[in-house]
Amino acid sequence: MTIRLGLQIPNFSYGTGVAEMFPTVIAQAREAEAAGFDSVFLMDHFYQLPGLGTPDQPMLEAYTALGALAAATERVQLGTLVTGNTYRQPTLLAKAITTLDVISQGRAVLGIGTGWFELEHDSLGYEFGTFTDRFNKLGEALDIILPMLAGERPTVSGKYYRTQEAMAEPRFRDHVPLMIGGSGEKKTIPLAAKHFDHLNIIAGFDELPRKLQVVKERCEEIGRDPATLETSMLVVAMIDENVTADLIPEDFRQQAVFGSPEQVAEQVKEKVLDAGVDGVILSPVTSINGYQPGGATAVAELLKPHLGL
């Protein structure tokens, strides 16, 4: 797996009716594929997130939508950024991701994290608990999911989950690439070093050097070559030459780029790639003026030389 240039679709509020909504999602994915993006990601949420909209704004279930995108694309890797472990039993998630891998002919990526959106949990009846609870639950889930993806049949009697020779068939391949999102230095990064192919860093631009140093240290502690743990950063992108810094909400200023395609690409290079992060996953803002074709393509063309693409 290599993720150097990804696209995240963060919302489905395009100012269209429901009938036009998914065709617009397909158009974004196909533009990304044609422009040379190597991956397309959806959020794994049921309600829209704070800062992006109100909870009742459109949100499609991720794995159903990804299955449809697999049939509408040919090359891009497909996954969530990232799956909330609390939303699905690990056996169901293993089945969903192996099914996506079969449908896409080996293009699935398993992005996974602890889950964090408390409103969704409370509203929909998922147990939230403490971060420690959710992190421990994720660890136990991986003890089930990873063997199932490799064709094994794990039997587990844990604190949170129980399985009896659980299996996921058919499988397209023995290893689905694994991505975790976050930047916690005590739990998330060590877990990434132990199990994952890719770490998507959720942090501010100013924090990147520190996070990359911790990645290096945690890998070396367990005898892993740090170069084998790919990194990327999720970056909010406002591709509009009329957007200026004062229009960026303060909470997003350390994770957002803005302006013309040239300005966006230059900011990504200076703030992310020059810091030593391997790649970038752009999350274009489309909820203001709807989906505007061409912006992601223009940025991709400018970034490719910096990404070795």
| pLDDT tens column, 84-107 | 999 999 999 999 999 999 999 999
Condensed to tens digits (0 to 9), the pLDDT of residues 171-227 reads: 999 999 999 998 899 999 999 999 999 999 999 999 999 999 999 999 999 999 999
Render pLDDT for 244-270 as a digit per residue (tens, 0 to 9).
Answer: 777 777 777 788 899 999 999 999 999
pLDDT of residue 218: 97
Please determine, for residue 164, whether its predicted confidence score (pLDDT) is greater than 70.
yes
pLDDT band at 1 (very low <50, low <70, confident <90, very high): low
Q: What is the reported pLDDT for 63? A: 98
> What range defines the domain where residue 243 resides?
5-307
CB-CB contact of 137 with 160 (8 Å): yes
Query: Using an 8 Å Cβ cutoff, are 179 and 79 in contact?
Result: yes
Predicted pLDDT at 16: 87
Count of structural domains, the chain = 1
pLDDT for 241 equals 84
Share of the chain above pLDDT 70, in %: 99
The CATH number of the domain where 182 resides is what?
3.20.20.30
Q: Check if the beta carbon of residue 144 is closer than 8 Å to that of residue 166.
A: yes
Where residue 53 falls among pLDDT bands split at 50, 70, 90? confident
- Residue 286 has a pLDDT of 75
d(CA 298, CA 261): 6
Query: What tokens were used for 42?
Result: 């959806």
- The Cα-based distances of 189 to 120, 182, 202 in angstroms read 25, 8, 11
Predicted pLDDT of residue 287: 67
Tell me, what's the pLDDT at 266? 96
- Residue 307 predicted with pLDDT over 70: yes
How far from 187 is each of 55, 76, 90, 118, 122, CA to CA, in Å?
29, 30, 20, 20, 25
